[in-house]
């Protein structure tokens, strides 16, 4: 995959996080807390596909 940050493009490798491992739980917690304003995202936080990108 490629990630664009401002004017820079970086190559990386995406992988699906195994459900229940610490990185998976942290990713879900951070995303739900960031985007929950005005919406109940609890179901989304439990059922979404969590990915990580190693750059």
Q: What is the pLDDT of residues 3-50, one digit of tens each?
A: 999 999 999 999 999 999 999 999 999 988 888 887 788 888 889 899
Amino acid 8: pLDDT: 97
Predicted model pTM: 0.69
Amino acid 45: pLDDT: 87
- Cβ atoms < 10 Å from Cβ of 42: 10
Amino acid 37: pLDDT: 80
pLDDT tops 80 at residue 2:
yes
Cα–Cα nearest to 54, from 16, 8, 7, 6: 16
């Amino acid at each position: 995959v490629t990630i664009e940050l401002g004017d820079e493009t970086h190559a990386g490798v995406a992988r699906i996080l195994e459900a229940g491992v610490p990185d998976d739980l942290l990713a879900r917690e951070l995303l739900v807390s960031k985007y929950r304003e005005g919406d109940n995202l609890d179901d989304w936080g439990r059922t979404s596909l969590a990915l990580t990108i190693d750059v």
